[in-house]
Structures are given as C-alpha cells and as structure tokens.
Amino acid sequence: MKLFQIAAFLIVLMLFYSTSDVFAQQKPVTEIEGPYVSFKNKPSFFVTLDRSNSLVAGKSAVTNELRLGVDFKRKVRLGIGFAGIASDVVASKTVRTEANFDTTLNALLSMNYLTLSAEYTFFESKRWQITMPMMTGIGTAFWTYYENVNGEVKTKKLDEGGVLLTGPSVVVTYRIFRWIGLSGGLGYRQLIINNSKINESFNSPIYTLRVRIFMGEIYKSVFPRGIFGNRNPPYSNEYWD
C-alpha cells in the first residue's frame, strides 16, 4: 500500500474518532450508561509522556511516547503523538561503510511512528478510574547500528521500511492521594502493514505499571484562582477534604 493510501486511512479513522459521540457527564462515581455527550463541551489540553513494555520477536522491548491533545470533560481524549520502540533484539548484519568496504556488526531492531489516539473513560470514582485507549500509528521499522567515521560515532539505519499498526488497551488507575496514584494496563499491538525487509514480529501484548502524577490537581492546589488570579469561583478542594 502506498504512503498516501495509509495517510488517507488514518485521516478517515481520526474523523471517525472525532465525530463519534461519547458518554454522559461525570458524577463523583460514574458508570456510563447514556445519554451521549456532545463534543460541544469546551475541551482542555493535555501533554503526557507514556512508557509501556512489550515483546519483539520474543524479547523485551520498551515503548516511549510523547502525546498531546484535547480532553473533553475527562471522558474522552483525542491525541497525536510520537512513539519509539527500543528492543533487545540484536542481529549480525553486513553493511557497506562510508569507507566503501563491507563489514559485519551488531544491529538493534527499532521502530518509530506517529500516533493518533482516542481514549474513553467509562468508569470514574474518587479513587478509581478505568479507561480504554485506542491507538493507530504510522512510521518505520529498521535496524540501528553505529559506525565510527573519522573518530565520530554515527547512528545509522538499515532495512528501513514503512509500517502501519494499531492497538487497543485497558488502563486501571488507583488514586492514592489527590496528586499521586498507581496505574496499570494491558493491551495488544498489531501490525496491519509490516516492513517486508524485517522478519521479526512486532505483534505483542503490551503492559504498563507506573506511578501517575496528576499535574492538573497540583495546578489547582497551587493556583486555586488560576495562574493569573482571575478565576471566579476558585477551584474547590471540597471533593478531597
């Protein structure tokens, strides 16, 4: 499939995400059961740095993702981001150096990709939150190796090719205090289009376990009237008192 066809697929998918209705307004304890909530609600913006673990060709791999987007009443998040997978898969490869001779060296299997994501919160209470993120990504998979060129170590890529992937997951968060909690999740990464030059499989279960810092709550505590002091009424602590 050509690149523009992949891009068109992602655009259609994002339009589907952004025009789908989502569930109703949040209460202190909320199990969504309709009616639907409109995207007319004023969104807030978010930035996250996520880290998850998986397997590539049966070996450990770590995914880091920087993601930003809009949050509709803490029920639906739409985001765009950049992710990279660093694996423990190492293979011997023969490459042509800049000095124009062949050499055999070790290369590391990696993947970088842009992401479009939609995340829906279908349960939330004072302490617990359950969300269902869905991600689609487009990027490249490749082997990375290092070459010493006139005393300078350069990072180079081998067998680079396009990939298209998707992955659903479920994330459960327990809020210990107002500003900090624990989060764990399970999901699956599935390649729809793979790099034909690479035989190793990136399809894998995904799991996360991390400490979460709720920056929004910290902001409300430090700036109850907003950063410019003009919020009226101020943010309330009643929910946590």
Q: What angle do CA 177, 32, 20 make, to 5 degrees?
A: 110
Tell me: the pLDDT tens digits for 138-157?
A: 999 999 999 888 888 889 99
Which of 32-54 are b and which e, b meaning 16 or more Cβ less than 10 Å from the residue's Cβ?
beeeebebeeeeeebeeebebeb
Please tell me the distance from the alpha carbon of residue 81 to that of residue 116, in angstroms, as a whole number.
Answer: 7
Tell me: the pLDDT tens digits for 90-100?
A: 999 988 888 88
Task: Please give the model's pTM, rounded to 2 decimal places.
Answer: 0.76
Which of 161-181 are b and which e, b meaning 16 or more Cβ less than 10 Å from the residue's Cβ?
ebbbbbbebebebebeebbeb
Q: Domain 3-222 carries which CATH code? A: 2.40.160.20
Average of pLDDT values for 163-168? Answer: 97
Tell me: the pLDDT tens digits for 34-90?
A: 435 556 778 888 888 899 999 999 999 999 999 999 998 878 999 999 999 999 999
Report whether 81 contacts 113 (CB < 8 A).
no
Using alpha carbons, select from 160, 166, 158, 156 the residue that is nearest to residue 141.
160
pLDDT confidence of residue 36: 54
pLDDT confidence of residue 212: 86
pLDDT confidence of residue 21: 39
Please tell me the distance from the alpha carbon of residue 93 to that of residue 133, in angstroms, as a whole number.
Answer: 37
* Residue 10: φ, ψ to 5°: -65, -40
Mean pLDDT, rounded, of the chain = 83
